[in-house]
Amino acid sequence: MSGTLIDFCKQLEPTALKLPASLLQAARDGVEFQHHFPTTREEPWKYTRLGRVAALKLTPVKINQSAERLAASETIDIIFEQETWHCAEPTAGLHINFSADLDASAWNACTLQGHVQHINALSAQGGVAIRVDANTKLIKPLRIIHRLQGAHTGLILHHQLILGNHASAQVEVFFEGTSEDSYANVLFDFFIGAGANLHTDMLQQTKGTHYGFHTQRIYQQKDSTVALQTLTAHTHFTRNEVEVFSQEEGTHTQLYGAFIGRENNHIDNHTYVHHTAPNCTSDENYKGVLADKATGVFNGKVKVYQDAQKINAYQSNKNILLSDLATINAKPELEIYADDVKCSHGSTTGQLDQHALFFLRARGISETKATDMLIKGFMAEIVGAVKSSHIQEALHALLD
Amino acid sequence: MLKITDLHASINGTEILKGLNLEIKAGEIHAIMGPNGAGKSTLASVLAGKEDYEVTSGAITFEDQDLLEMSIEERAREGVFLAFQYPVEIPGVSNVNFLKTAMNEIREHKGMPALSAKDFLRLVKEKSALVDLDASLASRAVNEGFSGGEKKRNEIFQMAMLEPKLAVLDETDSGLDIDALRIVAGGVNTLKSANNATLVITHYQRLLDHIIPDFVHVLYDGKIVKTGGKELALELEEKGYDWIKSVE
């Protein structure tokens, strides 16, 4: 069976996820209401056109529910490759299942925001449900790999990670492989218990004319800490949506991102931090480097609700354009309804520092190497925040 | 080593150097003094190959090669070193990493093998001591958070590491206190040999108390208008640049 994405939404029996009827209806209405695909007249899609995505002819990837076992390694691996998913033996206090096991009660806290999430809710073919018991500190990182291949595939996954109270985990997420005229819509729901700690590094580096849509929704309870690094390199088309719900006091959230585009790459990062509880901090830092005719979008929104006093929210976006034809559309947004908060935001876009380039060359370093060094230096803050050694290595290889 | 003949250079269509002649031989120290706007920094920039400046006529040969035909990095690899008047801060790029890259590019150009990590670190230790540069500064990002004096000492540290044939010091004394001045000058003097040469560009005579020049040239309105020994610097200090202008 093949068809367009909208054909999927209409034809598929969408209940791989046990969505509450109200959410399902909301998703249906959302897709219908937006006449299937939003246009650039709608603010969240002003700089990202979906015409090509709407026209894709796709065959859905149906994941077999039972996992192939992977041998133990330094990381606890979960690999999605075509119809198969592979999974390592979980360690104590860790539970890994296919999405039929998704904790439906967690859904009650969710709302669906926008096109990408609607499509996901209607058509997700499954996903992995990970639960870390309270007080369990995972020693090995969890590594989730999406290996894309073939052409005209439609991969729609909904993952869920639940960290119990005072649990901690390090997660590495990869999107890799080569795929043509294909679509992926992969959503993560992170439910972070009180006092829990999550560190996630995500690297997107799929080759080919692949259209990748990624959503990370993070729900944080009291005194929890989350650091999420979103790294996108040389992808044809990527849309990232990160949404943080700071629901109780004392949460810390770090959202870092780096995007590197060339040729006709289009990389779009949308973030939305909801501060609904007092005494919380969020720190956002996104950096982009765009060459050739690449385009980038950064839209970061922080909303501080009326009762959320003593919030410390910091947001920064810096971009370097390496060519006259590269474009960035940056929009930092702050919406504040409380009166005792400290918030800052800023965005800058420029070219490579010509004085620094001259200095390095005047010490004997070739122009190409000097340019690479400056880009690496520019990205150092973000790369330094990455804990995953696999991703560190991949980034060094990309930036060298 | 260096021969500049009838050099004319301009920036944004304004001519700054208007027929400059200068010859520097191995083992010599030359000082160029002159009032603001005379073209001192332009000369340094043109020697290093800064692209903002356009050489409209004249010639520069360095070790019998046409310097003006070389790219910025080729000049450095051939042994031209510019100590910057305003050293650049480069966040995220470590001083040590950048120097290692620079040294190995220069060595590759000369057909020499790359330095081992051990030899490199030994050199860093030895040469940073020469200018009293704290070893921790060597591992920080290039000039980031350095004081004015530390930035200038870092320039001389780089010079010590790269061992150029011709070092051009562009107002290295500006912004230095007496102690830093002495350290920087001490570094330059230690590095001096019969095989290399130094061109000191300065506004004031005081640096020349520490780095004793063989020749002092006065640059005025894009030309060298007077050349003498080290005593010329003292005379200038005493009489001021108006004296030169009136000689003109």
A239 and A387 share one domain: no
Bridge partners of A199, per DSSP, are: A170, A227
Q: What are the residue ranges of helices labelled H in chain A?
A: 5-11, 21-33, 51-55, 104-107, 114-123, 354-361, 367-385, 389-399
In chain A, pLDDT over 90 holds for what percent of residues?
74
Nearest CA in chain B to A384: B92
Q: Do B72 and A362 touch (CB under 8 A)?
A: yes
Mean pLDDT of B36-59: 94
Task: Write out pLDDT tens, residues B171-188.
Answer: 988 888 888 889 889 989
- The mean-pLDDT minimum among A89-103, A334-348, B62-76, B130-144 falls in A89-103
The pLDDT of residue A373 is 95
Residue A332 CA from chain centroid, whole number: 18
First to last CA, chain B: 29
What is the overall mean pLDDT for chain B? 92
pLDDT of residue B134: 83
Q: 3-state DSSP call for residue A70? A: strand
In 3D space, the residue among A258, A249, A205 whose CA is nearest the CA of residue A228 turns out to be: A258
Banded pLDDT at A105 (limits 50, 70, 90) = low
Helix (H, G, I), strand (E, B) or coil at A333: strand
Instruction: Decide which of A195, A226, A248 is a domain's last residue.
Output: A248
Chain B environment of A348 (Cβ under 8 Å): none
Extended beta strands in B45-171, E state: 53-62, 65-66, 80-83, 90-94, 141-142, 166-170
**Strand A252-261 and strand A295-304: pairing?**
unpaired
Do A229 and A364 fall within a single domain? Answer: no
**For chains A and B, what is the number of CB pairs under 8 angstroms?**
78
Nearest CA of chain B to the CA of A230: how many Å? 19
Q: Residue with structure tokens 């480097």?
A: A289
At B55, the pLDDT band (50, 70, 90 cuts) reads very high
Mean pLDDT of A357-379: 96
C-alpha pair distances (Å), A368 with each of A113, A294, A360, A371, B244: 43, 19, 11, 5, 45
Number of domains in chain A: 2
Write the DSSP assignment of A247-291 as a string of letters.
Answer: -STT-EEEEEEEEEE-TT-EEEEEEEEEE-SSS-EEEEEEEEEE-
Of chain B, the percentage scoring pLDDT greater than 70 comes to 99
* Range of weakest confidence among A53-62, A280-289, A386-395, B163-172: A53-62
Domain end call among A248, A277, A303: A248
Statement: residue A2 has pLDDT above 80:
no
Interface of B with A in 31-50 (CB under 8 A): 48-50
User: Which residues have C-beta within 8 Å of that of residue A199, sequence separation ≥ 6?
Assistant: A169, A170, A171, A226, A227, A387
Confidence (pLDDT) at B247:
60
**Distance (Å) of CA B56 to CA A182, B51, B59, B82, B96:** 56, 13, 10, 22, 38
Q: Positive or negative, the Cα torsion across B61, B65, B68, B72?
A: negative
Closest in B72, B87, B158 to A361, CB measured: B72
Q: What is the mean pLDDT of residues B67-83?
A: 97
Q: How far, in Å, are A203, B152, B184 from residue B174 at the CA level?
A: 47, 9, 11
Tell whether the model's pLDDT for residue A103 goes beyond 80.
no
Cα(A329)–Cα(A266) distance, integer angstroms? 11
In this structure, the answer to whether residues A242 and A364 fall within a common structural domain is no
Place of tokens 């790219």: B71
Q: Which of A358, A376, A380 sits opposite B50 (nearest CB)?
A: A358
Number of H helices, E strands in chain B: 9, 12
pLDDT value of residue A34? 64
Q: Give the right CATH number for B2-247 from 3.30.1330.10, 3.40.50.300, 3.90.1170.50, 3.40.630.10.
A: 3.40.50.300
* Closest by Cα among A241, A196, A194, A239 to A215: A241
Whole-number pLDDT of residue B215: 96
- Work out the minimum CA distance from B230 to partner chain A, whole angstroms: 29
Between chains, do A366 and B73 touch, taking CB under 8 Å as contact? yes
Phi, psi of B224 (to 5 degrees): -85, 120
Mean pLDDT is highest, among A80-89, A182-191, B202-211, for A182-191
- Whether residue A304 is contained in a domain is answered as no
Say whether A376 and B82 touch across the interface (CB within 8 A).
no
- The secondary element (H helix, E strand) that includes residue B118 is helix B117-130
Q: What is the average pLDDT value for chain A, to the nearest integer?
A: 91
Could you identify the residue written with the tokens 């949404």?
A: A243
Enumerate the residues of chain A whose CB falls inside 8 A of the CB of residue B75. 362
How far is CA A63 from its chain centroid? 21
Question: Which helix H or strand E contains B137, and what residues bound it?
Answer: helix B135-139
Kindly list the domain boundaries of chain B, sorted by start residue.
2-247
**Between chains, do A355 and B158 touch, taking CB under 8 Å as contact?**
no
B105 touches chain A (CB under 8 A): yes
A92 in a structural domain: yes
Q: Which residues of B touch A356 (CB under 8 A)?
A: 88, 90
Is A363 close to B76, i.e. CB distance below 8 A?
yes
Question: Could you give the count of Cα atoms lying within 13 Å of A244 in the half-sphere of its Cβ?
Answer: 32
Kindly state whether residue A162 falls inside one of the protein's structural domains.
Answer: yes
Q: pLDDT tens digits, residue range A244-262?
A: 999 999 999 999 999 999 9
| Reported ipTM | 0.95
pLDDT at A1 (0 to 100): 62
In a domain, A329, yes or no: no
Residues of chain A with pLDDT > 70, as a percent, come to 94
| Per-residue model confidence as pLDDT tens digits over A308-329 | 999 999 999 999 999 999 999 9
CB–CB of B88 and A373 under 8 A?
no
What pLDDT is stored for residue A25 in this prediction? 80
pLDDT surpasses 70 at A55: yes
Least confidently predicted of A259-268, A285-294, B204-213: B204-213
Average pLDDT over residues A200-220: 97
What local confidence, expressed as pLDDT, does residue A102 receive? Answer: 64
pLDDT of residue A16 exceeding 80:
no
Whether A127 maps to a domain, the answer reads: yes
Structural domain including A379 reads 353-400
A156 pLDDT more than 70: yes
> Which 3 state secondary structure label does DSSP give A240?
strand
- B173 with B207: CB under 8 angstroms? yes
- Supply the pLDDT for residue B223: 94
- Kindly calculate the radius of gyration of chain B based on its CA atoms and give it in whole angstroms: 18
Domain annotation covers residue A305: no
Backbone angles phi, psi at A375, to 5 degrees: -65, -45
Chain A residues whose beta carbon lies within 8 Å of the beta carbon of residue B82? 362
Query: What's the angle, vertex CA B21, arms to CA B16 and CA B22, rounded to 5?
Result: 115
**Does residue A210 sit within a domain?**
yes
DSSP string across A104-137: HHHHTT----HHHHHHHHHH----EEEEE-TT-B
Answer whether residue A107 is part of any domain: yes
User: What pLDDT, on the 0 to 100 scale, is given for residue A36?
Assistant: 74
| B102 contacts in chain A (CB < 8 Å) | 360, 363-365
* A92 lies in the same domain as A236: yes
CB within 8 Å: B101 and A381: no
pLDDT attached to residue A147: 96
